[in-house]
Structure 1
Amino acid sequence: MENSQSKHLSESLEDYLEAILNIIDQNGVAWPRDIAKALKVSNASVTGALRALGERQLINYAPYAFVTLTPDGENYAREIVGRHEKIRAFLCDFLDVDPQLADETACKMEHILAPEIVQRFVRLAAFMKTSPCEGKAWLKPDFRSCADCKQCGGCGNEKQKTEV
């Protein structure tokens, strides 16, 4: 499969692919009217997007018929959804962002962040899960790390307490 970088889809077309995948996962197939409803766009907008995705061989599309994803289209859509989920999880779990705001923000970020950057978020999240500093105290404006204080009581990292 060609990767997402080689298809050069706009953010809008990526949103259509993501919506089509979500609808297919829920209903088995995606009808253009369901896509329009999910994305809050007109039927004419959906028709134009479906033609563009069909020309790129990412979907199977014929007027007045349901839409399915090609194998390349499904892989591309799942890649987008994966980026979205990873970004959203990072925003919610580690930055304590409200879930709705995290979802809206992830929807914007998923289109512009390179896969390598998303992977670094994932690695940072894994590191933070094993960090000796528990909870979300580090989000507070007055938080001081072990390197900043002489008497650390927040993280339990004895080595850093004695070295400072």
Structure 2
Amino acid sequence: MDYTHSYESVLVFRPCGFLKGARPGVPVSRTVMGASPRQGQGQEKRFMNNEVWKEFAAHEVTHSVAHYLTTIQELRQRKGYAILKDVAEDLQVTKGSASVQLKNLKDRGLVSEVDRHHLCLTEDGEKVALQVIYNREVATNFFHKVLGLDHVDAEINACKIEHLLSHEASQRLLGLVQLLSQDDPTVAGFLKKFSSFQITCPDHENCGVCEDACIGDS
């Protein structure tokens, strides 16, 4: 199944570094704060963080929504149909809880019901489900093949972020996985060095990664 087509019409992500009304290419510190780049760095960062959290809270594809949609999709592939009882059993929730969530998904136009209470995804619902499944596979491969996590941990971590990745981020992650899966001596050398690399922070003030606090100490 091809999961690589575009889902931007369903999954819309606003750039977190800019506020509504900001001019493209102009930092928040200048557009909103009226401060110089140096003076506004701390305030700009706080604005960016606030925008990220607002975006996260407003994101329509929650973890629960993602699991209901993908469960319906997978049940229909496995059994040829999906009904309330099977969805509840697969998700290990009560039929009452499943009924409430499914009504919400129907009201949002992501799920529909056909003959004899059989559930199916609408066109928009299927787009979301396929994007989530695609994200899950890409993230699992990244955590397992690149970062070296065991497969169970890789799947658990992928499950936590599968509904949050944008299509662009997922595509770039896939590109990295494919690049590092090549049968190439340079790639093999990089992965070998990475597997034994130890995090060190000899000079926090000049670190190119850490800013406010040492990440290595967390």
Shorter-chain TM-score: which interval?
Answer: 0.7 to 0.9
Matching of residues 8-157 of structure 1 within 5 Å: 8-61=60-113, 65-130=117-182, 132-134=186-188, 136-137=191-192, 138-141=194-197
Q: Please report how far the alpha carbon of residue 5 of structure 1 lies from its aligned counterpart in structure 2 after TM superposition.
A: 3.0
Q: Where does structure 1 lack aligned partners over 5 or more consecutive residues? A: 143-164
1:71-94 Cα shifts (integer Å, max 9, x gaps): 221122111101111111111111
Q: Please report how far the alpha carbon of residue 4 of structure 1 lies from its aligned counterpart in structure 2 after TM superposition.
A: 2.6
Give me the whole-angstrom Cα distance separating, in 1, the residues matched to 2:66 and 2:12: 12
1:51–1:61 Cα contact (<8 Å) kept = no
1:3-31 Cα shifts (integer Å, max 9, x gaps): 13388232211111011111111011111
Give me the whole-angstrom Cα distance separating, in 2, the residues matched to 1:41 and 1:116: 33
Give me the whole-angstrom Cα distance separating, in 1, the residues matched to 2:181 and 2:61: 34
Number of residues of Structure 1 aligned to a counterpart in Structure 2? 143
Distance 1:75 1:112, change over 3 A: closer
Higher helix share: 1
1:50–1:61 Cα contact (<8 Å) kept = no
Most deviating of 6-15 and 72-81: 6-15
Give me the whole-angstrom Cα distance separating, in 1, the residues matched to 2:97 and 2:12: 24
Most deviating of 110-119 and 91-100: 110-119
Greater than 3 Å deviation, 4+ residue runs: none
Q: Could you say which residue in structure 1 is the equivalent of 2:12?
A: 5
Q: What is the TM-score normalised by the length of structure 1?
A: 0.76
2:131–2:167 Cα contact (<8 Å) kept = no
Q: Where does structure 2 lack aligned partners over 5 or more consecutive residues? A: 1-6, 14-58, 199-218
Identity, % of aligned pairs? 26
